[in-house]
């Protein structure tokens, strides 16, 4: 009896594996890398097309990059301009803060304003007090003279408690004279607390001597800074300017930089 069951020898399908030729194998192997390169190139182009415009819009030109932007981009780096210099500090910007300082500053500003106003008036009038009727040279013939005429003043406050000179009390308008020959160092309508003041440098007996004359009348100065004066020459008139409460001459004498008592010095040297 014939058998109906298929046997391997009777199967119609050919199960023998197909043999690939070497040419086909090499062709497929060559196509795979090219396909990968093409894919990566396409992805790179897509990324560049999307990222580069946004980066260019957000990132300013290198020439316009500021120190602040560099610091934001890289907080670990420090960029300093080669020509950078420290801005100088000005103490003139400091202001008074305590009540005493404010009151003092206001008083000084008011005094300066009064001095400026008085100087303007004096300038309009010619900047000189009428000296007619006044002796232009102090009495005496010595190398040192009294700054006020004898008998025209009384002795007031002397040295002590921060007061570096003497107050020679005299009526307003009393003439003031240079105590010795010398060169005017200061001549001002507003010389600190002295008000209208003059400072003269002398050489007396081989020593450096300076004399200060304070609280003169506004517009009464008869000398200017840098001017040479002779002993007893008229330099101004008694007043009550600056930190003063009455008409008087504030007179100071320094020898070789050290202060001396003016009344005793005048008594020993003036003639």
**Is residue 99 very low, low, confident or very high in pLDDT (cuts 50, 70, 90)?**
confident
| pLDDT surpasses 60 at 26 | no
Cβ-contact 220, 196 below 8 angstroms: yes
| pLDDT surpasses 90 at 192 | yes
> Which has the minimum average pLDDT: 1-5, 128-132, 202-206?
1-5
Q: Chain-wide mean pLDDT for the chain?
A: 76
pLDDT in tens, 125-163: 334 555 555 566 777 778 999 999 989 999 999 998 889
Q: Measure the CA–CA gap between 147 and 225, rounded to whole angstroms.
A: 18
pLDDT in tens, 31-63: 566 667 667 777 677 766 665 555 555 555 555
Q: Measure the CA–CA gap between 76 and 4, rounded to whole angstroms.
A: 88
Q: 27 in helix, strand or coil?
A: helix
DSSP-derived secondary structure for 186-226? EEES--GGGSEEEEEEEEETTEEEEEEEEEEPTT-----TT
**Is residue 110 very low, low, confident or very high in pLDDT (cuts 50, 70, 90)?**
confident
pLDDT of residue 17: 54
**Is residue 109 very low, low, confident or very high in pLDDT (cuts 50, 70, 90)?**
confident
Dihedral class, residue 133 (left if φ above 0, else alpha if ψ from -120 to 50, else beta): left
pLDDT of residue 58: 53
Does the pTM of the predicted model rise above 0.85? no
């Amino acid at each position: 009896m014939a058998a109906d069951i298929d046997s391997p020898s009777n199967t119609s399908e050919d199960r023998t594996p197909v043999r690939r030729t070497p040419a086909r194998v090499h062709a497929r192997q060559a196509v795979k890398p090219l396909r990968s390169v093409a894919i990566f190139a396409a992805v790179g182009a897509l990324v560049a097309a999307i990222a580069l415009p946004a980066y260019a819009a957000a990132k300013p030109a290198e020439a316009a990059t500021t120190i602040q932007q560099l610091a934001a981009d890289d907080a670990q780096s420090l960029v300093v301009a080669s020509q950078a210099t420290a801005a100088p500090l000005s103490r003139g910007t400091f202001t008074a803060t305590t009540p005493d300082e404010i009151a003092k500053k206001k008083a000084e500003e008011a005094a300066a304003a009064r001095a400026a106003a008085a100087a303007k008036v004096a300038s309009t009038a010619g900047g000189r007090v009428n000296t007619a009727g006044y002796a232009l040279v102090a009495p005496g013939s010595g190398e040192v003279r009294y700054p006020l005429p004898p008998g025209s003043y009384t002795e007031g406050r002397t040295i002590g408690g921060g007061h570096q000179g003497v107050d020679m009390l005299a009526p307003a308008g009393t003439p003031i004279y240079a105590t010795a020959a010398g060169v005017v160092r200061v001549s001002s309508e507003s010389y600190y607390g002295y008000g209208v003041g003059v400072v003269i440098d002398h050489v007396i007996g081989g020593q450096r001597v300076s004399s200060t004359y304070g609280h003169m009348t506004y517009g009464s100065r008869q000398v200017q800074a840098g001017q040479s004066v002779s002993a007893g020459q008229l330099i101004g008139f008694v007043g009550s300017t600056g930190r003063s409460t009455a008409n008087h001459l504030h007179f100071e004498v320094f020898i070789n930089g050290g202060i001396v008592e003016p009344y005793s010095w005048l008594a020993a040297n003036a003639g």
